[in-house]
Amino acid sequence: MIMNLNSIFGQFSPDSLLLIPMTIVSVLMAILWLFFSNSTNWLPTRIGFAFSTFNNTIIKTIFQQTNPNSITWVPTITAVFTLLFSINVLGLLPYAFTATSHISLTYSIGVPIWMSVNILGFYLAFNTRLSHLVPQGTPSFLIPLMVLIETLSLFAQPIALGLRLAANLTAGHLLIYLMSTAIWVLMNNITIASVTLLIFILLFLLEIGVACIQAYVFTALLHFYLVQNL
């Protein structure tokens, strides 16, 4: 069996099934959950109850250690988690592309929120925020160096925030692509192909967990930066 190994970005090719573009099918599957999460029934349905439980679990998990000043940010951070979680998980479907594997999206989400949090922090407590640049007990001759290091670490936060999410998802998707390609190529040897398929299934389950964890890490860091500034 011969297979032409295309690029990992070959998923953008116009694949079709029964003359129906698979991209259209994947988009419909991706937005189908909106109709279940926005029910118009005045009594909660089972699906609505599941979404409500999921939302409450998110809030309890992310905001375990918080302060009263960050309560107003709960809807924003929860919405960011839901968005990232949905994109990460739906990106594992066939013929779907994970937009969060591109730093253009992760930075467009992380940088504005990080900037707004820090601007708000300097606005509410300017002297306190400046004092964080110099740890207590620092010798006077090390103060300029510490200010430089703390400033660099401050501006490195949004870079690491977006890069961590994109890099982990890209690496996982690349492994899935390579494993699926290996299964296809090794179809002539049933034993090796079966072992590879088992590893692929375990890797796919791991990627589902990674998709959830990375969404949590992203929002947990945003909440941590928020608590530091308020």
What digits encode the pLDDT tens for the residues 77-91? Answer: 888 888 888 888 888
Query: What are the tens digits of pLDDT across the range 130-166?
Result: 777 777 777 777 777 877 887 888 888 888 888 888 8
Q: Do the beta carbons of residue 89 and residue 212 sit within 8 Å?
A: yes
**Range picked from 96-105, 122-131, 199-208 for highest mean pLDDT:** 199-208
Tens of pLDDT along 11-57? 445 555 566 665 666 567 657 666 665 556 666 667 667 777 777 77
